Amino acid sequence: MRRILGYSVLALGAVLYLAPFVIQLVTSFKTDPDAVAHPLSLLPDPLSTDTYRRLATDPAVDFPRWFGNSLLVTVCVTLGRLLVDALAGYGLARLRWRGRDAVFGGILAVMSVPGVVLLIPKFLVLRQLSLYNSYLGMVLPLLVDGMGIFLMRQAFLQVPREVEESATVDGAGVLRTWWSVVLPMVRPALATLAVLSFQGSWNEFTGLLVATSDPRYETLTLGLARLVSGALGQGEQLPLKLTHRHAVHRAGAGRLPGRPQVLREQPAVLGGEGLVARIS
- φ, ψ of residue 157 in degrees (nearest 5): -60, -25
To another protein, the closest distance from the beta carbon of 9 in angstroms equals 8
CB closer to another protein, 133 vs 203: 203
To another protein, the closest distance from the beta carbon of 206 in angstroms equals 6
CB closer to another protein, 53 vs 173: 173
To another protein, the closest distance from the beta carbon of 46 in angstroms equals 19
Q: Are 41 and 24 in contact (CB under 8 A)?
A: no
CB closer to another protein, 13 vs 68: 13
> How far apart are alpha carbons 62 and 65 in whole angstroms?
6
To another protein, the closest distance from the beta carbon of 57 in angstroms equals 21
CB closer to another protein, 14 vs 47: 14
Task: Count the Cβ atoms, other than its own, within 10 Å of residue 213.
Answer: 12
To another protein, the closest distance from the beta carbon of 47 in angstroms equals 19
CB closer to another protein, 57 vs 112: 112
CB closer to another protein, 47 vs 124: 124
To another protein, the closest distance from the beta carbon of 117 in angstroms equals 4
